[in-house]
């Protein structure tokens, strides 16, 4: 398996030399300066690739192997094949990427907001901090800050009571921070940052779009783009919903094995694949990740390996160490290693250590939440050890 690292460009606090020292050889990146919905150019992709792949004398080479992500504009999610201009721009971006020799593209189809958390520095017993989704604080945001119509129907009476107490205990600074974390787009997000009024307006545009309609719009998008991906030799990898359940009264359509199975049946093109994110999928107790890794193995070109720990209420969770939490990481990695072994070397699965705790020196530095250097370094080292052990025990290093 190819070891990769997400890099946000020259302003990323983690340098390319840091990546080299972590032991990764592949870079996962994107043109984060291009507005959502605007087509990437061949020249723009080439410039970014040169930043990554122009290797200083004596340094280990790096390769830009995965694009994460080409954002899918909001109108595609609302209109499906009717969003012709946005789909055309997405295809143009795909062609620019392929022209530069990059053949794996990650994307997501989460409406209005991308990945969602309520806490970016939740204290752990060892003094490190983690990303967390606190369902009570999220309910407080929904009911008392966003004031979404019908939000109370999504939470039971006990949760509503706890959410009210949580809201009443918040200072204005606490409220502002919660708005920033939930509505203003987390690092790597492919949705627009929103004010509360803009958030309400965007939600109103989704009236009448249920699970079936959103899935149909995703199928229509894939029917439009996969012929081009096939022609260009690009693997499209759909990132799971994070968390994998409806939020803000909106449906989500990439949360379960059944969701992905339906998409692969609707659009059987080999270009239509999955970004196997164990942290996102692992939030649901009904997702059997080792079984999913085996079933969808041929469609996995890219994997995010991290673990989450579900909390007592069944709805809250936090990011655990990469080999702990509720993800059976060893069995997942074993399935991915076995799938990789069946492929030519050029088609090996690319994985990255996804997210990491804020720890050691990073506790006092400016960091990108979830994308700290030391936490991910620790995760990559643990994952690398699991991979090498499996390869050794199975008698076949790859």
* Contact status, residue 247 vs residue 202, Cβ threshold 8 Å: no
* Contact status, residue 87 vs residue 76, Cβ threshold 8 Å: yes
Q: Active-site residue among 242, 354, 357, 362?
A: 354
121 is catalytic: no
206 is catalytic: no
Q: Active-site residue among 239, 318, 322, 357?
A: 239
What H or E segment, with its residue span, contains residue 90?
Answer: helix 84-99
DSSP state of 39: P
Q: Active-site residue among 107, 206, 260, 371?
A: 371
How many helices (H) and strands (E) in the chain? 14, 12
For residue 232, what are the CA distances in angstroms to 30, 68, 197, 227, 236?
18, 17, 41, 9, 11
371 is catalytic: yes
Q: Active-site residue among 304, 318, 322, 357?
A: 304
Q: What is the 3-state secondary structure (H, E, C) of 93-143?
A: HHHHHHHCCCCEEEECCCCCCCCCCCEEEEECCCCCEEEEECHHHHHHHHH
304 is catalytic: yes
Residue 394 φ then ψ, to 5°: -90, 0
In angstroms, the CA 182 to CA 175 distance is: 11
In angstroms, the CA 389 to CA 395 distance is: 10
322 is catalytic: no
In angstroms, the CA 381 to CA 347 distance is: 23
DSSP state of 77: H
In angstroms, the CA 1 to CA 376 distance is: 17
DSSP state of 239: P
In angstroms, the CA 350 to CA 243 distance is: 23
> Token pair of 300, please?
């996995």
Residue 370 φ then ψ, to 5°: 85, -20
In angstroms, the CA 310 to CA 325 distance is: 8
106 is catalytic: no
What H or E segment, with its residue span, contains residue 197?
Answer: helix 196-204
CA 225 to chain centroid: 20
Beta-ladder partners of 28? 6, 66
In angstroms, the CA 57 to CA 396 distance is: 33
> What residues are labeled active site?
239, 277, 304, 354-355, 371
């Amino acid at each position: 398996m190819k070891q990769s690292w997400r890099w946000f460009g020259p302003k990323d606090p983690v340098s390319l030399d840091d990546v080299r020292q972590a032991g990764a050889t592949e870079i996962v990146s994107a043109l984060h300066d291009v507005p959502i919905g605007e087509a990437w150019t061949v020249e723009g992709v080439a410039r970014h690739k040169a930043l990554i792949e122009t290797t200083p004398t004596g340094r280990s080479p790096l390769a830009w192997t995965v694009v994460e992500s080409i954002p899918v504009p909001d109108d595609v999610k609302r209109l499906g094949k009717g969003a012709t201009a946005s789909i055309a721009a997405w295809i143009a971006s795909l062609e620019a990427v392929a022209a530069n020799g990059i053949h794996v593209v990650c994307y997501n189809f989460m409406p209005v907001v991308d990945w969602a958390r309520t806490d970016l520095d939740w204290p752990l017993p060892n003094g490190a901090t983690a990303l967390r989704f606190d369902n009570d604080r999220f309910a407080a945001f929904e009911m008392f800050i966003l004031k979404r119509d019908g939000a109370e129907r999504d939470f039971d009476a006990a949760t509503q009571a706890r959410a009210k107490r949580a809201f009443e205990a918040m200072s204005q600074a606490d409220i502002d921070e919660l708005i920033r974390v939930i509505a203003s787009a987390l690092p790597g997000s492919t949705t627009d940052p929103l004010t509360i009024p803009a958030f309400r307006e965007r939600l109103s545009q989704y009236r009448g779009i249920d699970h079936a309609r959103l899935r149909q719009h995703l199928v229509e998008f894939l029917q439009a783009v996969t012929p081009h991906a096939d022609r260009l030799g690009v693997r499209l990898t759909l990132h799971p919903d994070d968390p994998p359940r409806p939020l803000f009264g909106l449906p989500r359509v990439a949360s379960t094995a059944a969701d992905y199975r339906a998409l692969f049946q609707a659009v059987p093109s080999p270009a239509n694949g999955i970004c196997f994110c164990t942290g996102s999928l692992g939030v649901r107790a009904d997702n059997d990740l080792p079984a999913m890794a085996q079933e969808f193995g041929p469609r996995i070109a890219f994997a995010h390996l991290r673990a989450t720990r579900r909390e007592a209420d069944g709805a809250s969770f936090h990011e655990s160490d990469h080999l702990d939490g509720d993800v059976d990481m060893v069995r997942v990695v074993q399935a991915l290693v076995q799938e990789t072994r069946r492929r030519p070397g050029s088609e090996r699965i690319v994985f990255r250590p996804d997210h990491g705790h804020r720890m050691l020196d990073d506790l006092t530095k400016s960091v990108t939440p979830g994308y700290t250097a030391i936490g991910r370094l620790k995760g990559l080292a643990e994952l690398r050890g699991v991979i090498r052990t499996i390869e050794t025990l199975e008698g076949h290093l790859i």
